Structures are given as structure tokens and as C-alpha cells.
Structure 1
């Protein structure tokens, strides 16, 4: 159950980012039932890739860049999150999932949107204490 919640949280963040930003998108129809049918599986697979990148690669990058994170008062974390989203788009392209992030600024704003949506989902769900 925890895995499903984790996956759906990333998927919700990606869906909101793709809806709000023209530079983050999935290939396929742009509206209606066909959009939902054709984009749900790629959305879930890209969410899985983003989750794996965030779980395994991002902590290593953060550890290696810790002095610079401290020096920039945490601003570098935004850049790291944007780069992880761009890496996710590259990996999704390698698997032909039709997910695209056009440029660094779209990745930066998209990573902020994904983070805010994730916070909202975690606040809305009951805690498991």
C-alpha cells in the first residue's frame, strides 16, 4: 500500500506539472477520454522512474554537493531537483515513454510543482504513526 501511495504521489505531481507547464508534456492526444487512456500508463511509468531516481541517485548527488548546498543556503537543492527531473525525462525517452521536459527553467518550475503536490498529498493522507 505504501508503494502505491508513493507512486500515485509522484504521478499526481507529474500530471499537475504537465498540465500547468507547456514545456513539460506527454506525447499523444491533448484532451478527452483518449488522453486519459493513452497517457495513464506512461504517466505511471515515468512516476516510477522519477521515484527511483529520487530514491537512489538524488541522495548521492546531494551528499557529494553538500558543501555547495550549505554555501548556497539550500538553493542548490532546487537545481538538483530540476536536474533529476531532466534525467527522468532522458530515461523516459530511452524507454520511449513520450515524456518531455524542454529546458532547465521548465524543469525547475516543474520540480517545484511536483514537490508542492507531494507535500499536499502527504498532508491530506492520514499519518502512519
Structure 2
């Protein structure tokens, strides 16, 4: 149940990013659902590999290169999907930052919702 709620809220967050920032376009809620799934899949499979491969650059930049990796995951998801479009790398960087802030809020809300004691 927790996973489904997080997925739905992540899709809503993606729609909010598209509403707040013109560099990101999402056509429908179903496109947002698929995009949220693909972004999550890329972050689960590709991101750890990229983090390990770029570890020296990440250390030199004091972790700021992780923002570039997040933007690449966001941009890659837009590249393979119809209905989800990012206008360029700068838009991917800003869109992924906004999406990450929404993700932090979602994680906090889900934590409070599902682990009340």
C-alpha cells in the first residue's frame, strides 16, 4: 500500500513540476504515472552505477555532481517516454531539483502516515 501511495504522489509531484516550470511538460496523469515509474526504475538501477563510476568527480565537487546525475536520470526518462518532455539539460536540472524537493515532502508525509505509533 505504501508503495502505491508513493507512486501516485510522485506522479502528482511530476504534474506539479510541469505546472510550476515550463521546461517540463507532462501531457496526462497516466503519462505522469509511467514517468514516475521510469524515473524510479532509473534511480534504482542506473543511478548507483553512475554514482560509483563518477565517485572521484563527486568527491572533488563535494557531492554537487550528484545533482548532475539526478538531472541525467530525469532527462533520460523524458527521452524514452511519450507524454513527458524536458526541453534541455538545464530544464532537467531545475526540474529534477523541484521533483526532489517534492520527493522529500512525500517521503516525510508517508513516514508520518504509515508509521504512527
| Superposition TM-score, scaled by structure 2 size | 0.89
Deviation for aligned residue 1:6: 3.2
Rounded to whole Å, the distance in 2 between the matches of 1:9 and 1:58 is 21
Give the count of matched residue pairs: 114
CA–CA distance in structure 1, aligned partners of residues 41 and 47 of structure 2: 9
Gaps of 5+ in 1: 28-38
Q: Aligned-residue CA RMSD in angstroms?
A: 1.6
Matches within 5 A, 1:1-129: 1-27=1-27, 39-92=28-81, 97-125=82-110, 126=112, 128=115
The alpha-carbon deviation at position 9 of structure 1 amounts to 3.7
List, as ranges, runs of 4+ consecutive aligned residues in structure 1 with deviation greater than 2 Å: none
Question: Matched residues in 2 for 1:58 and 1:108: separation?
Answer: 15
Equivalent position SS for 1:113: helix
Contact 2:21 2:95 in 1 (8 A): yes
Q: Distance in 2 between matches of 1:68 and 1:13?
A: 30
Question: Take 1:113 and 1:70, find their aligned partners in 2: how far apart are those partners?
Answer: 24
Q: Tell me which moved more, 39-48 or 3-12.
A: 3-12
TM-superposed deviation, 1:128? 4.0
Q: Which runs of 5+ in 2 are unaligned?
A: none
> Deviation at 1:121?
1.2
Deviation at 1:10, TM superposition (A): 2.5
